[in-house]
A and B are shown apart, each in its own frame.
Chain A
Amino acid sequence: MTPSTVAVQTAERLTAAAGLNATLDWSPELLATEATAAEAIGAGALHGMALAVKDNIVTAEQPTTCASKILEGYQSPFTATAVNRLRAAGGMVACKANLDEFAMGSSTEHSAYGRVLHPMNPDLVPGGSSGGSAALVAAGVVPAALGSETGGSVRQPASFCGIVGVKPSYGLVSRWGLVAFGSSLDCISVFGDTVARSARVLEAISGHDPQDATTFEREPLAPFVPRTDLKGLRVGLPKEYFPDDLDPAIRAGCNRTIALLRELGAELVEVSLPHTAYAVPTYYVLNPAEAAANLARFDGVRYGARRVGLAGDLRALYQATRGQGFGPEVRRRILVGTYVLSAGYYDAYYARAQQVRRHLALDFQNAFAAGVDLLFTPTTPSTAFAAGANTGDPVAMYLADVFVCAVSLAGLPALSIPIGRDQGLPIGGQLIAPFMQDGAMLAAADVMERHLDATGEVR
């Protein structure tokens, strides 16, 4: 199929899927332009593949809003490295996808442009913050998409929507052109309908970028070597990720997958990551602290739609612009972040959380050093929840990230793959790999995917 045909068909599917509210900007004309460029490139690893791009990744051709009123109409003068690399490999940007405002959230209910609907049940959330990208892949509108992770924002919606979500090692993919939220955590990440397709996209966008000094100076990710089984692999099961009160359906899905891992030849061993209980509180100190610093630039002078305050001076302008431009969750995180960084509280919260982050990273390092090749865990503590279920209690929403945020703090690669269903809703299983072992993780997931009954009921 030619890129032009793919573009036309993608436009038809985007129109049909408008009810999901998963897109923030797209047009048949821009898609046709993308197709012309892809045809000019000819062959490429992503030749003719249409991808959704989360709207916190800048593209020069269309607005980048981060789903925030403060950036309404903002158009970047440059394009993110990851998007440039997609296009260089023959890929096409299908649309900019809806998200939680500035990627802060776990349900894509915190978008200034309305919530994204779960493709299987409109009363449920698709997860977040990359919920628009996830919903578009799950609905079959596009085969792959770019999202971003700060603390699970691709793996969690991938789990809720029954697709593959891959978070690479920190430093494997350039952050140039990803609107900064938590700079020590942010990773452009990939959704796909299969592990193999997700891997192809990740390979295309990975590698050193002089524009991002935190990328590793090494070659892009090489295609993984396909495996026929998991013989010789030791897979660790961290006991802290399988608590007694784990949802019975999630446990059933995991038990079925653990049995499959054993059948495929893997050796299963219980391991302990003793600081796991501190992961969510650590994350919700460091993440708001970094957010408060990064979002200082949205002040109506450097960035942001300017509002004039009543007092008519500069501070009133800042306060009115930010007070009216940011939504409730962004405001909460800026306030919490400013609080934990303020005089008198810095040592008790921020400095403490930085120390605990080291312990969390060491937990993983110790497990891998003891001879474990990969870890397997549930991705989320539940299947997709109802819209509105957690919006009144921010901490309840944060706990949706309980199995995903420690990995982000440690900078490790991890992915979520569908492992079965409960009452029709997808359950995700998570693989976690040692730093820069993204390829080995993808190869193992590829074998699992071929043998898993991903759409079968787990109990």
Chain B
Amino acid sequence: MKISKQDVLHVARLAELAVDDAELETLTGQLDRIVEYVAQLEALPSEQTATSFHPGPAAVRLRADVVAPVPLARPPEAFAPAMRDGLFVVPRLGAQEDA
């Protein structure tokens, strides 16, 4: 076994993903099967190393660093739950924030 239940819980915390106790067993088995499968990459002779590969243009040319309005079909007011003074109003999150 490459993956334990503790590994799954650790990775789930890193990924901010709640995992139920009921599904932990199945998920651990499936992740172990996947990681075991992809571990075949270790079989490639180590002298066969190369730089990483990215498709697409060799040099990505960025847009000019100019503040410009994003073309939207509707203004933010139309899809935000609430706005005040041009800012999104969101629920207070948790007790650690000041009232």
Whether the Cβ atoms of B60 and A213 lie closer than 8 Å is yes
* Stretch binding the partner chain, chosen from A11-19, A95-103, A235-243, A320-328: A320-328
What residues of A have a CB within 8 angstroms of the CB of B53 in the complex? 354, 357-358, 360-361, 409-410
> In chain B between 9 and 44, which residues have their CB closer than 8 angstroms to a CB of chain A?
10-12, 14-20, 27, 30-31, 33-35, 37-42, 44
- The main secondary structure of chain A at its interface with chain B is helix
Tally B residues with Cβ within 8 Å of A.
Answer: 53
Given contacts A284-B34, A355-B52, contact A319 B41 (CB under 8 A): no
Q: Scan residues 53-75 of chain A and give those whose CB is less than 8 A from a CB of chain B.
A: 60-61, 75
Q: Are B79 and A332 in contact (CB under 8 A)?
A: no
* Majority secondary structure, B binding face: loop
Q: B95 and A339: CB pair below 8 A?
A: no
**Complex contact A281–B40 (CB within 8 A):** yes
Q: Are A210 and B63 within 8 A (Cβ)?
A: yes
Q: Mark A320-350, 1 if CB is under 8 A from B, else 0.
A: 1011101000011011111110100000110
Closest to B51 in A: A358
- Considering the complex, give the chain B residue whose CB is closest to the CB of A309: B18
Nearest neighbor of A392 in chain B, beta-carbon distance:
B30
Q: A171-B56, A335-B17, A336-B31 are in contact. Are A281 and B38 (CB under 8 A)?
A: yes
Residues of A close to B90: CB separation below 8 A: 301
Residue B6 interfacial (CB < 8 Å):
no
Contact A394 B38 (CB under 8 A): no
Cβ of B62: which chain A residues have Cβ within 8 Å of it?
A: 213
Contact yes or no, A217 B61, CB < 8 A:
yes
B30–A332 touching, CB < 8 Å: yes
Count, chain A residues at interface, CB 8 A: 72
Residues from chain A with a CB closer than 8 A to the CB of B15 are 292, 322, 334-335, 337-338
A287 → B minimal CB distance (Å): 10
User: A296 — which chain B residues lie within 8 A by C-beta?
Assistant: 16
Decide: B16 and A319 in contact? CB cutoff 8 A: yes
Q: Please, how many angstroms separate the alpha-carbon atoms of A319 and B41 in the complex?
A: 32
A357 adjacent to B52 (CB under 8 Å): yes
Q: Which of B8, B50, B71, B74 has the most CB of A within 10 A?
A: B50
CB-CB under 8 A from B19, the residues of chain A are: 323, 331
A299 interface residue per 8 A CB criterion: yes
B54 interface residue (CB < 8 Å to A): yes
Contacts of B94 in A (CB 8 A): 312-314, 316-317
Task: Choose among B12, B18, B20, B27 the residue with the greatest number of A CB atoms under 10 Å from its CB.
Answer: B18
* Interface flag for A207 (CB, 8 Å): no
In the assembled complex, 19 residue pairs joining A and B whose CB atoms fall closer than 8 Å, in A order, are A60-B73, A77-B78, A77-B79, A213-B61, A214-B60, A281-B39, A282-B38, A284-B37, A313-B96, A316-B94, A322-B15, A326-B17, A338-B11, A339-B7, A339-B35, A349-B39, A354-B52, A361-B55, A435-B55
Binding site for A on B (CB under 8 A): 3, 7-8, 10-12, 14-20, 27, 30-31, 33-35, 37-42, 44, 48-57, 60-63, 70-74, 76, 78-79, 90, 93-96
Q: Sort A-B residue pairs by CB-CB distance and give the 6 closest, nearest first.
A: A411-B55, A323-B18, A60-B73, A354-B52, A313-B94, A358-B50
Chain A interfacial positions (CB closer than 8 Å to B): 60-61, 75-79, 170-171, 184, 210, 213-214, 216-217, 275, 277-278, 281-282, 284-285, 292, 296, 299, 301, 309, 312-320, 322-324, 326, 331-332, 334-340, 342, 348-349, 351-362, 393-395, 398, 409-411, 435
A359-B48, A360-B53 given; name 8 further pairs at CB < 8 Å: A171-B57, A213-B63, A214-B56, A312-B95, A314-B94, A335-B17, A349-B35, A353-B41
